[in-house]
Amino acid sequence: MASPPLTSPARTTLQLAGLHCAACGGLIERALRGVEGVSDCRVNAAAQSANILWDPARTALDRLVQAVRRAGYDAAPATPAAARELRRRESRSALWGLFVAVFCMMQVMMLAAPHYVARPGELAPDLKQLLDWAAWVLTLPVMWWSAAPFFRGAWRGLRARSIGMDLPVALGLAVAFVASTGAAFQPTGPFGREVYFDSLTMFVSFLLAGRWLQMRLRHRAAEVLESGLAALPATAFRLRPDGGIDTVPLAALQPGDCLQVAAGASFPADGVILQGHTQADEALLSGESRPLDKPAGAAVLAASLNLGAPVLMRVDRCGADTHLERIVGLMHEALAQRPPVALAADRWATPFLAGVLLLAAGAAAAWSVVDPPRALWVAVSVLVVTCPCALSLAAPSAYIAAAQALARRGVLLRQPAVLDVLARIDTVFLDKTGTLTGERPTLAAVARIAPSVHREDELLARAASLARWSTHPLSQALAAAVPAAPQGPSWREVAEQAGLGLSARDDAGLEWRLGSARWLGIDDGAADPAAGPRLWFGPAGRPLLRLDLDEQLRPDAAAAVDALHQAGLQTVLLSGDTPARARRLAEALHLQRALGGADPARKLDELRAAQSAGRCVAMVGDGINDAPVLAQADVAFAMGHAALAARSAAGAVLVDGNLKGIAAAHHLALRTRRVVRQNFAWAALYNAASIPLALAGALPPWAAGLGMALSSLAVIGNSLRLAR
Amino acid sequence: MDILYLLVPMSALLVLGLIGLFGWALQTGQFDELDREGQRILDIDQASGRPAAEE
């Protein structure tokens, strides 16, 4: 991938921290748009990332990060190393807030218990005072540490003149704390004698528990995504100047370090081989499935596998600068797009929150006429109970959980929105070569067609040794099928005629040929059109051996097609191969239709025809060859390695040709749609039922807090079912 | 019952102390990766302190 010239706008993804709702996303978008040189900015609150289009000539990445920090959030460039560090910071602070809240809540509950169990007059006034004071002391840490995110969020919103989800919560907490404090220290004062420290701490704990669960879900999804790509070793073996070897963690590596890499281990960093000669498997990074030769001086990539021999390497780039980390970054960016359902929910958040504040103020005003002492508590209940957390979590939590579950099953989604379309598909188009069958043909049968002095296995070994001179797929298949003999014949004057075959002279000067029937000088007109490709081998004009090659079905192809049929999907085979061969394969797999002899343009026509007939089509193909067809399909699955997800036109990638992933993804998409609907229904029902109760004063603050927290937990719990 | 006037403040102080203890444990990274601690016992290479390549 060529990097764009510096004068053109750059697109960068920042990993954000500290967001709790869609409204926060709006604040960050506004802050970033205010930076000179930023032309566009989209924040995804669910994935906590910002996608920014900016002009490198007019501003710098630092300024963007500072703008986010000034708005009161944290940001780091979305490289995995930075994202991991951000995740660690975020998880520590969330755990701290949650622990303080829950631990103090338990103690405050103990201290509050006498209020509930004592009969009137049983609790001495000074003992009640003492218990209230103790509860107040234990509520302080909760307000100071655990509730701080809500106050910060509300303050940020106010400064930017917008209403965030934190504002009603912060307002409710502040009013309850101030009123309870007044009641605890001056029972005869204006706030009455009732204290609500127990409701307060419980509300904070449940709210934080919901956010903590959501954060864990997000972090897990990010981790699964990263590990789906490739695994770096946990430690590296670094050579000391005196020749000794230190075991060091990857984070301690620096460019210029000299490392020892064992055979079978993966390279810990990008660099150059100093000593030794090996082969490396870079399949996960480049999609190239053959081992690459790596002599001394060759460049190696982090996370590629060292197959051949132990080598010494020099580190050139490590940590966030490696090729691997850039690919992971692209994957993060891909997942950062917001699903349409969540966009709709975001639009409604602000008017809804404004309505909540008005309702709370109205309720307080009305109750201050009817029953002044209760006015404050009714307002607190309304503020707390209407927090639309459940509503805002309904869609994103389900999508993230589903994406995580699919990543574990070998299906990487390019964007969560793919799930929306996936739930609607009714037809699956499958490509043949490279999708249902392996990428390379295999040797199926060998036939001797003329008598000769050589034994058949001798001839086969001879053919294979000649085939090793060529990179043609059929030659490679033949070479792979026969183990290399220790002393093969020595060929001279090896020549390759494109489209025909190979020719070479043996020690005796006889010319041997390997290739098509025409190359060997015979007529193969009667060949079965459903048969696979054939090779002929023998001295020129006198073929001795016929080699039948055939494509091999992937082991899970039949089961995967069955699963698609069971899900009620139609299957169509598209192949560039002859119609007879396509039909034969379709019959073997019970595919419902087969279209053979189709070039990419014909495949595209077929796809468009199905789409104009009102069908929603998923296309499964080879990531690179079928790019135009994949781009036209409603959902595209590319076979291949995870790195392709960031590059190909496909919406999803089946890692390592895992065909069963298609049916699994469809099934999960249907479940996700169901779960999102359940979540929305539940959240809407909860708000619709609880607001009238709170307005009527029938909901004490503790019940409001419990209800709100439980509704969020219910939504997250429901979504979590998808992650399994 | 008078003992409560001593015990209640003491329990409040104890709770604050425990919160401080947890904060220390958190800051030293003891809760960062709970899974890895469980798996460490199975990790031969690290336990022996020797690179696997030299064996």
Residue-wise pLDDT tens digits, A31-46: 888 888 888 887 776 5
Tokens of A227: 């590990």
Nearest residue of B to residue A133, measured between CA atoms: B9
Of the two residues A541 and A695, the one the predictor is more confident about is A695
Q: State the alpha helices, DSSP H only, in A34-147.
A: 61-70, 80-117, 125-141
A→B interface, C-beta within 8 Å: 88, 91-92, 95-96, 99-100, 103-104, 107, 111, 124, 127, 130-131, 134, 137-138, 141, 234-235, 237, 245, 247, 260, 262, 265, 310
Query: Would you call A192 helix, strand, or coil by DSSP?
Result: coil
DSSP conformation letters of A364-413: HHHHHHH-HHHHHHHHHHHHHHT-THHHHHHHHHHHHHHHHHHHHTTEEE
Mean pLDDT of chain A: 79
- Inter-chain residue contact A138 with B12, CB threshold 8 Å: yes
pTM score of the predicted model? 0.63
Instruction: Enumerate residues 6+ apart whose C-beta is below 8 A from A309.
Output: A263, A276, A277, A278
Please report the ipTM that was assigned to this predicted complex.
0.79
User: So which residues of A are the catalytic ones?
Assistant: 431
Q: What is the pLDDT of residue A80?
A: 61
- Which residue on chain B is closest to A85 by alpha carbon? B32
Instruction: Tell me how close the Cα of B41 comes to any Cα of chain A, in angstroms.
Output: 15
Facing A130 at nearest CB: one of B8, B15, B23: B8
Query: β-pairing, A10-17 with A74-77?
Result: antiparallel
CB contact under 8 A, A137 and B54: no
User: Which chain A residues touch B4 with a CB distance below 8 Å?
Assistant: 127, 130
Q: Among B15, B28, B50, which would you mutate to test the A interface (most chain A Cβ atoms within 10 Å of its Cβ)?
A: B15
pLDDT for B47: 45
Q: What is the pLDDT of residue A502?
A: 85
Chain A closest-CA separation from residue B21 CA (Å): 11
- Smallest CA-to-CA distance from A614 within A424, A340, A431, A341 is with A424
- State pLDDT tens for residues A391-433: 777 887 888 888 888 877 878 777 677 888 888 889 999 887 7
Q: Any idea how long chain A is?
A: 724
Residue A241, burial from CB neighbour count under 10 angstroms (0-12, 13-18, 19+): exposed
Measured in angstroms, the CA of A455 and the nearest CA of chain B are apart by 45
| Residue A580 reports pLDDT greater than 70 | yes
Cβ distance B15 to A104 less than 8 Å, yes or no, reads: yes
CA distance A279 to A106: 60
State residue A342's pLDDT score: 59
Q: How far apart are CA A489 and CA A613, in angstroms?
A: 60
Instruction: Return d(Cα B39, Cα A15) in angstroms, integer.
Output: 30
At A509, list the tokens: 């000067």
Split at pLDDT 50, 70, 90, the class of B50 is very low
Q: Which candidate, A375, A346, A374, A349, places its Cα nearest to that of A362?
A: A375
State the best of A127, A143, A266, A312 to mutate against chain B, taking most chain B CBs within 10 Å.
A127
Residues 6+ apart with CB under 8 A from A424: A616, A634
Which residue is closest to B4 within chain A, CA to CA? A127
Portion 21-40 of B in contact with A at CB < 8 A: 22-23, 26-27, 31-32
* Partner residue facing A141 (CB), from B19, B53, B54: B19
Between residues B4 and A234, the one the model is more confident about: B4
Q: Which pLDDT score is estimated for A228? A: 54
Q: What are the b/e assignments for A111-139, b being 16+ CB within 10 Å?
A: bbeebeeeeeeeeeeebbebbbbbbbbbb
Best CA proximity match to A630, nearest among A607, A602, A654, A612: A607
CA dist A547 and A534 (Å) reads 6
Residues of chain A with Cβ-Cβ distance to B15 below 8 Å are 103-104, 107, 138
pLDDT computed for residue A140 by the predictor: 94
* Sheet hosting strand A38-44, strand order edge to edge: A38-44, A49-54, A10-17, A74-77
Most trustworthy range by pLDDT among A90-94, A273-277, A450-454: A90-94
Q: Compute the nearest-CA separation of B46 from chain A (Å).
A: 9
Greater confidence, A658 or A113? A113
Span A609-667, pLDDT tens digits = 988 888 888 988 765 556 677 777 888 887 765 455 545 566 787 876 778 888 999 99
- Cβ contact A235–B32 (<8 Å): no
Query: How far is Cα A149 from Cα A131, in angstroms, rounded to an integer?
Result: 28
| Residue written as token pair 């503020």 | A383
Phi, psi of A716 (to 5 degrees): -65, -45
- Nearest C-alpha in B relative to A97: B23
Tokens of A401: 């959980």
Read off the pLDDT of each residue in A48-57 and give the average, rounded to a whole number: 78
Task: Say how far apart CA A465 and CA B17 lie, in whole Å.
Answer: 78
* Minimum CA–CA partner of A140 in chain B: B16
How high is the pLDDT of residue A147?
Answer: 93
Task: Report the amino acid identity of residue A109.
Answer: M
Tens digit of each residue's pLDDT (9 = 90 or more) over A498-516: 667 888 888 888 888 888 7
Q: Tell me whether residues A95 and B31 touch, CB distance under 8 A.
A: yes
Q: How many residues does chain B have?
A: 55
| CB-closest option in B9, B16, B51 to A247 | B51
Structure tokens at A195: 């204290």
* Binary contact (A134, B8; C-beta < 8 A): yes
Task: Specify the DSSP class assigned to residue A58.
Answer: T
Q: How high is the pLDDT of residue A123?
A: 83
